[in-house]
Structure 1
Amino acid sequence: MIEPGGRIGILGGGQLGRMLAIAAAELGFTCHIYCPEENAPATDVAATSTCAAYEDADALARFADSVDVVTYEFENVPAETARILAEHAPVRPGVVALATAQDRIVEKNFLASHDIPTAPFADIPDEATLVEAVARIGTPSILKTRRFGYDGKGQARIDTPADAIAAYEAIGRAPAILEGFVHFEREISVIVARGRNGATAAYDPVENIHKHHILDQSLAPARISEALADKARAIASHIVTDLDYVGVMGVEMFVLGTDEGGPRLLVNEIAPRVHNSGHWTQDACAISQFEQHIRAICGWPLGSATRHSDAVMTNLIGEDAHDWARLAGQSDTALHLYGKAEARKGRKMGHFTRLYPLGHAPKTLR
Structure 2
Amino acid sequence: MTEPGIPRRATIREVAAAAGVSSATVSNVLNGHPKASPETRARVRAAAATLGWQPLAAARSLRSARSHTVGLVLARTPDAVGDDFYSGFVAGLHDAVANDGFVVCLQVANDPDHERELYTSLVRRRRVDGFVLTDERVDEYRPELLDQELDVPWVLTSRLPYEGEDQSYEGEDQPYEGEVAGIAELAAHLVELGHSRIGYIGGPADLRGTIRRVAALTTALEAAGCPAPVVHYGDFTAMAARDGTAQLLARRRPPTALVYGNDDMALAGMALAGELGHRVPTDLSIAGQDNILLGRLNHPALTTTSADPFGLGHCAGQTLVAKLLRRDDAPTPLPRRHAVLRQSTGPAAR
- Between structures 1 and 2, the one with greater strand share: 1
Flag whether TM exceeds 0.5 (same fold): no
| Higher relative contact order, structure no. (Cα contacts within 8 Å, ≥ 6 residues apart) | 2
TM-score (norm 2): 0.34
Higher helix fraction: Structure 1 or Structure 2? 2
* TM-score for the superposition, normalised by structure 1: 0.33
Q: Which has the larger radius of gyration?
A: 2
